[in-house]
Amino acid sequence: MKDRSKLDELDRRIAAAQTAVRPKPNEESKYRKANLAWQMVIELVAGMLIGLGIGWSLDWLFGTLPLFLATFGILGFAAGVRTMMRTAERVQEQVALARQDQDPTPGGQSED
């Protein structure tokens, strides 16, 4: 019985040491997600405005009002969506890396 109590005490000390060494979870600012959402909206709107500006300029230059405006407006929208998707992929990669850094076991699976 005496050995069992020593083993239990050792288990408690090991668990306390592991808890102390384990990295803290990455705490996000409460505004981080809102900032990310605004960044993505701005990327979409900027792509559209640039496309519309180029289209309107070409229409003004060549006198073909709706043709280039519509074409470059659609292309600007597509470019904005593509930029938003790149941002989302980058954020997902950062989250995946943060999870790997927090997980002490290799492969991300806990041992039973």
Tell whether 92 is covered by a domain.
yes
pLDDT given for residue 43 in this prediction = 94
**Chain position carrying tokens 């003004």:** 60
Tell whether 73 is covered by a domain.
yes
Tell whether 70 is covered by a domain.
yes
* pLDDT tens digit sequence for 19-71: 777 666 556 677 888 899 999 999 999 999 999 999 999 999 999 988 999 99
pLDDT given for residue 17 in this prediction = 83
Distance between CA atoms of residues 10 and 13, nearest Å: 5
Tell whether 67 is covered by a domain.
yes
Tell whether 74 is covered by a domain.
yes
Q: Is the pLDDT of residue 80 over 60?
A: yes
Task: Please report the DSSP string for the chain in residue order.
Answer: -HHHHHHHHHHHHHHHHHHHHSPPP-PPPTTHHHHHHHHHHHHHHHHHHHHHHHHHHHHHHHT-HHHHHHHHHHHHHHHHHHHHHHHHHHHHHHHHHHHHHH--SGGG----
- Give the angle subtended at the CA of 101 by the CAs of 97 and 107, to the nearest 5°: 85
Residue 84: domain span:
49-101
Number of structural domains (the chain) is 1
Q: Is the pLDDT of residue 10 over 50?
A: yes
Mean pLDDT for all residues in the chain: 85
Tell whether 53 is covered by a domain.
yes
Confidence of residue 112 (pLDDT cuts 50, 70, 90): very low
Candidates 83, 85, 80, 84; CA nearest to 45 is 80
pLDDT given for residue 24 in this prediction = 62
Tell whether 65 is covered by a domain.
yes
Give the lowest-confidence range in 28-37, 89-98, 101-110: 101-110
Distance between CA atoms of residues 100 and 79, nearest Å: 32
What proportion of the chain, given as a percentage, has pLDDT over 90? 47
